[in-house]
Amino acid sequence: MPCTRRQFLCQSASAAAWLAISSSRTGVAQQTPPAIPIIDTHQHLWDLGRVQLPWLGGAPHLNRSYLPKDYAQAAEGLGVVKTIYMEVDAAEQSKQAEADYVLDICRRGDTSMAAAVIGGDPAADHFRSYILQFKDSPYLKGVRQIIRDRQWFAEAKFRRGIQFLGERGLSFDLCHGPEWLGDAAGLLDACPGTRFVLDHCGNANVKTFLPPGKDEPAASASARRQQAERWRLDIAALARRKNVVCKISGIIASAPKGAWTPAQLAPIIHHCLAVFGPDRVMFAGDWPVCTAVATLRQWVGALKQIVTDPVQQRRLFHDNAARFYRLG
């Protein structure tokens, strides 16, 4: 039976109370979570023999190939039944090779990867022909272009490209800093026929939500509180647009390395679940990027401690993604 928002918030509050009792110092309690099927909506892979990733120069811990077998090892025993590939910000000259590579993996059907969100620039002159070459592929579900310039949100060519995705039944992933959430709302309003996915809880920074440090200057603590409140307001305003869903993901990468707990993640997750509602949130692993701070197993375990109700877990980890991406 569908839950009301009041029931959903009560369940979340109960989860927070349980969390305070059961969380271990290492971040994840030792109870074995109930087995539920998981659709990971944000699985990265890259074969450095096929694609160029310029950003790896600033991420030496990730500077190697990550292949399907590596993900299978990381996800072993977690109940992952399907994954959605997420583009990896490849160099422009590598985007075609990246798309061909991952769509072929989906077509072969010998891994958990069931569909893909590929890289592409909606403002590029060749964007329509680039997308149309895949028009017969049932595996292409959307496009992502990491937004690095605030002006892109209002750029006419950029908006037309995203509107074209909506005409093709494809989604667009929003990935940008939390300070641009208001600009993202304008883009959603300009493209009402396109479905959007907000990545990583709007890239909220976990450290912004931590209590004041013992020796932290008052001005610094105040600035963090203001940033946290600005995010809360902006994410709620974005969530009022019905053509966007939210990936519960990514925030673990901003948690204190070696000293994080699920309780530190909970304020961000609870707020996203509250403003988007139980049917417009989806689990995403963000592997292997998450491994800078936590393993995929630790991230899944922490999220299950924060959202404990089995019905809500089923929606978050599986059902909402299956519906959004139209997975059989």
**Three-state SS string across the chain, please?**
CCCCHHHHHHHHHHHHHHHHHHCCCCCCCCCCCCCCCEEEEEECCECCCCCCCHHHHHCHHHCCCECHHHHHHHCCCCCEEEEEEECCCCCHHHHHHHHHHHHHHHHHCCCCEEEEEEECCCCCCCHHHHHHCCCCCCCEEEEECCCCCHHHHHCHHHHHHHHHHHHCCCEEEECCCHHHHHHHHHHHHHCCCCEEEECHHHHCCHHHHCCCCCCCCHHHHHHHHHHHHHHHHHHHHHHCCCCEEEEECCHHHHCCCCCCCHHHHHHHHHHHHHHHCCCCEEECCCECHHHHCCCHHHHHHHHHHHCCCHHHHHHHHHHHHHHHCCCC
Query: pLDDT digit string (tens) for 163-189?
Result: 999 999 999 999 999 999 999 999 999
State how far Cα 6 lies from the chain centre. Answer: 25
pLDDT of residue 34: 45
pLDDT of residue 249: 96
Does residue 286 contact residue 253 with C-beta atoms inside 8 Å?
Answer: yes
Distance CA(228)–CA(250), nearest Å, equals: 17
Distance CA(300)–CA(279), nearest Å, equals: 19
Cite the beta strand spans of 9-112 per DSSP E. 38-43, 80-86
Enumerate the domain spans of the chain.
36-324
pLDDT of residue 214: 87
Q: Residues 149, 244, 200, CA angle at the centre, nearest 5°?
A: 60
pLDDT of residue 15: 38
CATH homologous superfamily for 36-324? Metal-dependent hydrolases (3.20.20.140)
Residues 205, 211, 216, 221, CA torsion sign: positive
Tokens of 115: 């569909």
Q: What is the pTM of this model?
A: 0.89
Specify the DSSP element, H or E, that contains 305.
helix 296-306
pLDDT of residue 123: 98
In DSSP terms, 198 is beta-bridged to 174, 246
pLDDT of residue 24: 39
Q: Which residues of the chain have pLDDT under 50?
A: 1-34
244 SS3 class: strand
CB neighbour class for 149 (10 Å; exposed up to 12, middle 13-18, buried from 19):
exposed
pLDDT of residue 159: 98
Contacts of 97 (CB under 8 A, 6+ apart): 50, 51, 90
